[in-house]
A and B are shown apart, each in its own frame.
Chain A
Amino acid sequence: MMKHNLILRVISKFMIPLIFLFALYVQFHGDFGPGGGFQAGVIFSAGLILYALVFGVETAKQIIPPFVLRCLASLGVLIYAGTGVASLILGGKYLEYGVLASTQVAGQHLGILIIELGVGITVMSVMLIMFFAFAERGQPE
């Protein structure tokens, strides 16, 4: 697929790591700057979609198989909901992050970081699931 687009391939190989890095920055810096799990998930999936567009959907699927994507999509929701259950077990209310660590502020920090991670994982994998569904549908076997 796209054997001749040398410039596109070289440039995207250069861009994709930067996109991933930026996604991780947005993910873990969401407390301090703009962004958060949702935006980070979309940006991360955009990097993989760029890869799939340039190098072919089948190649992209070898990196991250659909089965793994489905597991990740559920895992994200589980992380989020599980944080709520964990705070219940530790004696707080559902999603009350204050009880997760020794102090209120530290617990909030930890809780927000974890649930943003859950959001990011779910959004990333759902976007890719949608993209693969559309891309696959168009290719006859």
Chain B
Amino acid sequence: MLDSLIGITLLTLLMIQAFAIIYLRNLFAVIMLFGAFSFISAGLFVVMDAVDVAFTEAAVGAGISTILMLGTLALTYGRNEEKQEKKSSHKPWLPLIVVSITGAMLIYGTSDIPAFGDPQAPAQQHVAPYYLEKGLSDTGVPNIVTAVLASYRGFDTLGEVAVIFTAGIAVMLLIGGRRRSTRRNTESGDDDET
């Protein structure tokens, strides 16, 4: 009862924030709302007992991404320029229709999804029972999430680390290092490295 009450409150907050993000034109405020959005999503994950996911969402979604988006904002607008979203040149009707149809299909699709926490759900029938039963005796690690991530699915996690590493290299290659020429960076010629 309390769980669903908290869940409904958090989801309502998320919806209000989503509308605020759509309507606001001030990009700084939008980024801050994105951060708050992530943080409330993290709270929602806690309510659903997915603590590890909540942890990641709070640290990455609310923390690091907000910082990186603020950095992007500082890069793409001038120091004294007002950081406003430009008025779009096209009418919103076509995107609205596409979004409505997709949303209606998604909502229709949820009617086939098993109930939250249903033990008969296909996702709980495959390998999950094995992990839950054997996880502690196989690895001696009480946190099953860590046991699955680091041991049973060690290859996947290695791949993930490689992806993060590659992303770091890509960022470094694209925008890393200081611009060498100070004469040229008065204009917006961003892709012109000398």
B172 near A133 (CB under 8 angstroms)? Answer: yes
Interface secondary structure of B, over-half rule = helix
Interface size for B (C-beta < 8 A) is: 49
How many whole Å from A1's CB to the nearest CB in chain B?
14
> B16 near A: Cβ within 8 Å?
no
A134 near B75 (CB under 8 angstroms)? Answer: yes
A134 near B158 (CB under 8 angstroms)? Answer: no
How many whole Å from B8's CB to the nearest CB in chain A?
24
Stretch at the interface among B22-30, B93-101, B138-146: B138-146
Q: Which residue of A lies closest to B153 (CB)?
A: A95
Taking a contact as CB atoms closer than 8 A, the residue among B51, B56, B157, B176 that contacts A129 in the complex is B176
A111 near B138 (CB under 8 angstroms)? Answer: no
Interface secondary structure of A, over-half rule = helix
Q: How far is the CA of A103 from the CA of B9 in the complex (A)?
A: 49
| Contacting residues, chain B, for A132 (C-beta < 8 A) | 176
Taking a contact as CB atoms closer than 8 A, the residue among B56, B67, B138, B145 that contacts A131 in the complex is B67
How many whole Å from B139's CB to the nearest CB in chain A?
4
Q: How far is the CA of A97 from the CA of B146 in the complex (A)?
A: 14
How many whole Å from B12's CB to the nearest CB in chain A?
26
Q: How far is the CA of A30 from the CA of B67 in the complex (A)?
A: 25
Taking a contact as CB atoms closer than 8 A, the residue among A42, A73, A77, A138 that contacts B71 in the complex is A138
Categorize the interface residue count of chain A. 35 or more
A42 near B161 (CB under 8 angstroms)? Answer: no
| Contacting residues, chain B, for A32 (C-beta < 8 A) | 141-143
| 10 tightest A-B CB contacts, nearest first | A134-B71, A126-B168, A105-B140, A34-B51, A108-B139, A42-B59, A95-B154, A112-B150, A133-B176, A31-B141
Q: Residues of A at under 8 Å CB distance from B?
A: 26, 30-36, 38-39, 42-43, 45-46, 49, 70, 73-74, 76-77, 80-81, 84, 94-95, 97, 104-106, 108-109, 111-112, 115-116, 118-119, 122-123, 125-127, 129-141
